[in-house]
Structure formats: C-alpha cells, structure tokens
Amino acid sequence: MIREIIVNDCLTIILFITFFFKIILKKINPILFYENIDLIKKDLKNKISNNLFGIKLLDVAYNILFISNLSVLFTIYVNKEFNIIIYFKLFQNILLLFLLKYILDLLIGKLFITMKIMKKYVYLKIIYFNSLGILASILNLFVAYTSFEHISIISFCICLTLILFIFSYFSIFVLMKKIIYKNWFYFILYLCTLEIIPYYYLISNVL
C-alpha cells in the first residue's frame, strides 16, 4: 500500500535549510566536505599519528547538522509525522547531551587520563559524527519524499544510522587500541558511564 508522503511546510523548510547549510560548508572548505563523505577515513590514521588533530568551528557546524537531521528522523518516527515543536525539543535535548558529554570528556581527560588522549578521542568522535550528519540528511529525503511504507522506511533509516554510529565507535577504538590497552580500566569505566548509559537513555526514551 502506498503511504501518504510525510511532508509539511515546516519539514520542507528544515530540509531546505540543512541542504543550503551543506552547500555553504562545501563552499567554505571543499576538502573537509569530501573527507566527511568518506566513512572509511583513509587519511585519518596519518593525521592522528602526526598529531594533526584539533576541533574547528566547521566541525561544530557539521555536528549541528548531524543533530538536526537525527532530530528529524526521531520526530517522524515517534509522531508518525513531522511536528516542529517535538523537533525543537529533541534538537535541544540532543544538543545539550552532546555539549555535556564534551565537557565531561575533557574533565575526565584532565582528572584521570591525559588531556591529549581525550582531545584525540573527542576529535575522532566529531569527525565520524560529521559524516553521519551528511548521511542522515540524505536519509531524511527518503523518509519525507518516498512512497515506501511509513514505519518500514523510517525504521530502516534509524537502524542504518545506529549501525554506522556503532561502526564509528568501533573504528575509533581500532585507531586508539594501543592507548586503550594501557588505560583499559579507565576506558571501561568511561565507556559504561559516559557512552553507553547516556545513549541508551536517549534511544529508550525516544524509540
């Protein structure tokens, strides 16, 4: 059965803004844009090895793009249509979660591990989230403008996003395996308290 396409004026405006935002980001730094499209991150190991890492304003912009597109997916999944109020609430909550995690990451790095190691870890997360932001914007177009059955297409998009989200963490652990082995106790403690629990709480309350 062909479903009714989930489009309203607010959703169209949000999707247009994110699309226009991507164009601006590409114009500002085309190299970074194409690096973010690459999920494999072939050159990332060299950057990390040579300590060529640092969080820039453009990285923050790509992360905001990721949060916005994730909020759109969750809004449609929960409400069965796009609701601008729910979208802004989700956007605000996810943005707050990311900000708190970033602050706590640096605090833990300063108290228990080293600031340099934690900055490297946070940088890697941001780089992978940048890619997820671009991917999620494409998935949102499928959710809004395809004629597939409602729940199936949205569930598929969310599952795909979550799989790639997990893949990004796995890739980070592989890149930092030597450091993790040396600090395995603090890493497990950190993983349980500041990675698994917050995301589990977010997903369980949304989905």
Neighbour tally for 8: CB within 10 Å: 13
Compute how many other C-beta atoms are within 10 angstroms of the C-beta atom of residue 96.
Answer: 10
Which residues have C-beta within 8 Å of that of residue 207, sequence separation ≥ 6? Answer: 74, 77, 78, 158
Alpha-carbon separation of residue 180 from 52, 110, 172, 177 (angstroms): 20, 16, 10, 5
Is the pTM value of this prediction over 0.85?
A: no
Query: H helices of 80-149, where?
Result: 84-111, 115-145
On whether the CB atoms of residues 3 and 150 are closer than 8 A, the answer is yes
Distance CA 70, CA 164 (A): 13
Cβ atoms of residues 68 and 196 within 8 Å: no
Query: How do the pLDDT tens digits run along the chain, 207 residues long?
Result: 344 444 567 888 888 888 888 889 888 888 878 877 776 665 666 555 554 455 678 888 888 988 998 898 888 877 777 888 999 999 998 898 888 888 887 787 777 666 677 777 787 888 888 888 888 888 888 777 765 455 677 777 778 878 888 888 888 788 777 777 777 777 777 777 777 777 777 767 665
Q: State how far the Cα of 206 lies from the Cα of 190, in Å rounded to an integer.
A: 23
* 114 dihedral zone (left: phi>0; alpha: psi -120 to 50; beta): beta
Task: Give the Cβ contact number of residue 31 at 10 Å.
Answer: 8
